Structure formats: structure tokens, C-alpha cells
Amino acid sequence: EAGVAQSPRYKIIEKRQSVAFWCNPISGHATLYWYQQILGQGPKLLIQFQNNGVVDDSQLPKDRFSAERLKGVDSTLKIQPAKLEDSAVYLCASSLRLAGTYNEQFFGPGTRLTVL
């Protein structure tokens, strides 16, 4: 079974530029998450989707970050404009369901963003 796919794996941009990350979850997984991991810390949730609807985006800096999952499968996360403090690894995860005993989350390899 294929895991969570993410691209690109690495991205270097100048501050104030825009960038987009793509994620394809495990086939059949209804729930998709985006996490941000700053160096030396654990991942922190940015946004969560159930199918094509947003379940929680309370931790997403909406002035510069946006995300969508239009067809309920793959998702994109965008930053516009980027700041230096956005340098981090952006991790996508998916789970079969939102609740119950099928909410084990599986992570992709991440996209390492460096903002100069």
C-alpha cells in the first residue's frame, strides 16, 4: 500500500515570495492533516480536513496561509507572502476516519522549506 506522498521535498525561497506544497494521502483515507515542524520541536497541527471540508483551522495563520482539498483527495498548502519564521518542515498526514478506532495518523516524508 502506498504511503502519503508529498512534493516537493525541498524548497528555498526569498521572504515575501509565495510557495505551494502538495499532498496525496493514503488511498481511501477521508481525513487529511497539515502539520508544521520547526527545527528542534514536535509537529504542530495547522489544518484538518474531512473529505473536502475543513474540520479545524484554528492554528492556521490565515493572513498568509491557505489550504484546500477540493475533490476530497489530494491537498495543497500555500504560503503567501512567506516570512523568515516560516522556515520549517511541512508534514502531511492522513487517517482512515476522523473518530473512533480508525484515526491512526500516517505521515508523509515532508517538505523542508527554507525562507531566506
Partner 1 sequence: GIQVEQSPPDLILQEGANSTLRCNFSDSVNNLQWFHQNPWGQLINLFYIPSGTKQNGRLSATTVATERYSLLYISSSQTTDSGVYFCAPLDILTGGGNKLTFGTGTQLKVEL
List residues binding partner 1 (CB under 8 A).
Answer: 33, 35, 40-45, 48, 50, 55-56, 58, 89, 91, 98-99, 103-107, 109-110, 112
Q: How far is the CB of 63 from partner 1 (least distance, A)?
A: 21
| Residue from 22, 13, 11 nearest 108 by CA | 22
Q: How far is the CB of 16 from partner 1 (least distance, A)?
A: 26
Q: Specify the residue, 43 or 86, whose C-beta has the smaller distance to partner 1.
A: 43
Q: Specify the residue, 20 or 26, whose C-beta has the smaller distance to partner 1.
A: 26
Please check whether residue 77 is in contact with residue 46, taking contact to mean a CB–CB distance below 8 angstroms.
yes
Please check whether residue 51 is in contact with residue 67, taking contact to mean a CB–CB distance below 8 angstroms.
no
The C-alpha R_g of the chain, in whole angstroms, comes to 13
